């Protein structure tokens, strides 16, 4: 019975879709059902109507008078439409004023709050799914991976709870900014941006050093350091070089990419936070390389 109804229902549904598509076409594509307008004859020009300047006068029309000629000259020499005065022009707020900086900070805080809530809800869903699957595999199916799976899910749930109730950097700064003046807000924002810059660059340098040491250890093991068999030696060499390269890549990213706190300060005030930069130089030498780190706090 169902096999007989399905072809008929699908045919009817297809016809309905085609009819809706034909009806939903734009008005320019639909055929016109109204009769075309009849052409209208041009209205005759009245002799009393003055002709445009430079146009030939119609036959039988009287010559223009002095008054009409002066009116035409006045219309030609009339001033153009008045332009809006400078007082009506709205200009953007100065980049160093307090209200503009607080407005930028509130927008950033709202965005950070929305991202935090979305991340917390995502962690809740992922953790609940992992706990359910882990308990099912551990209790019902008696699988060895069941217990680690629901433990990971529980950890994700705890992280979601912490992410839900822990305010971010912009949220805390926006909350404190209500009690700050314009100068105090700029000083506090600059201080936090500088702290983030120093932490970012120190972490980047440490990551570069740790990654270089890890890659060096992998190279030393590959060269024959330590009494290892062939298979463990290959495994350790591959793992150390891969991990060291990843750590060094993260260090380069940390050194070159600004944090949101630093870029937001420049967006609000039009300049970077004042501070002594941390510079790192790399110089290739014969048989090696030389690193130079210069920092001042």
Q: How many CA atoms lie within 13 A of 88 on its CB side?
A: 4
Q: Are 293 and 208 in contact (CB under 8 A)?
A: no
Sign of CA dihedral 119, 123, 129, 130: positive
pLDDT in tens, 27-52: 444 444 444 444 455 554 444 445 55
Which of 102, 75, 72 is closest to 269 using CA atoms? 102
Please state the length of the chain.
297
pLDDT score at 69:
46
pLDDT in tens, 147-200: 999 999 999 999 999 999 999 999 999 999 989 999 999 999 999 999 999 999
Q: 106-140: string of b/e by CB count within 10 Å (b at 16+)?
A: eebbeebeeebeeebeebbebbeebbeebeebbee
Distance CA 44, CA 73 (A): 25
Model-level pTM? Answer: 0.55
- Residue 294: beta bridge partners? 279
Distance CA 212, CA 232 (A): 21
In this predicted model, what pLDDT tens digit does every residue of 230-250 receive, in sequence order?
888 999 999 999 999 999 999
Q: pLDDT tens digits, residue range 97-118?
A: 567 889 899 999 999 999 999 9
Domain boundaries, the chain: 96-179, 191-297
């Amino acid at each position: 019975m169902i096999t007989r109804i399905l072809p008929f229902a699908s045919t009817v549904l297809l016809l309905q879709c085609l009819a809706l598509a034909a009806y939903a076409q734009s008005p320019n594509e639909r055929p016109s059902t109204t009769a075309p307008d009849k052409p209208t004859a041009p209205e005759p020009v009245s002799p009393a109507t003055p002709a445009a300047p430079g146009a030939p006068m119609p036959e039988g029309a009287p010559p223009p008078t002095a008054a009409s000629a002066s009116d035409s000259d006045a219309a030609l020499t009339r001033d153009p439409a008045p332009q809006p005065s400078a007082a009506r022009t709205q200009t953007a707020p100065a980049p160093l004023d307090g209200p503009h900086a607080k407005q930028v900070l509130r927008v950033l805080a709202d965005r950070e709050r929305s991202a935090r809530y979305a991340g917390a809800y995502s962690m809740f869903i992922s953790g609940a799914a992992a706990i359910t699957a882990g308990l099912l595999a551990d209790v019902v199916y008696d699988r060895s991976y069941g217990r680690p799976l629901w433990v990971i899910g529980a950890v994700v749930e705890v992280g979601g709870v912490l992410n839900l109730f822990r305010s971010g950097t912009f949220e805390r700064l926006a909350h404190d900014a209500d009690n700050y003046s314009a100068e105090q807000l700029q000083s506090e924002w600059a201080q936090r941006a500088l702290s983030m810059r120093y932490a970012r660059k120190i972490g980047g340098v440490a990551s570069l050093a740790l990654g270089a040491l890890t890659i060096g250890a992998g190279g030393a093991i590959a060269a024959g350091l330590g009494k290892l068999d062939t298979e463990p030696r290959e495994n350790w060499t591959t793992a150390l070089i891969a991990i060291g390269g990843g750590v060094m890549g993260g260090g380069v990213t940390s050194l070159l990419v600004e944090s949101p706190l630093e870029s937001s300060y420049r967006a609000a005030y039009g300049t970077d936070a004042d501070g002594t930069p941390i510079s790192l130089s790399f110089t290739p030498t014969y048989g090696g390389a030389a690193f130079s780190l210069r920092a001042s706090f």
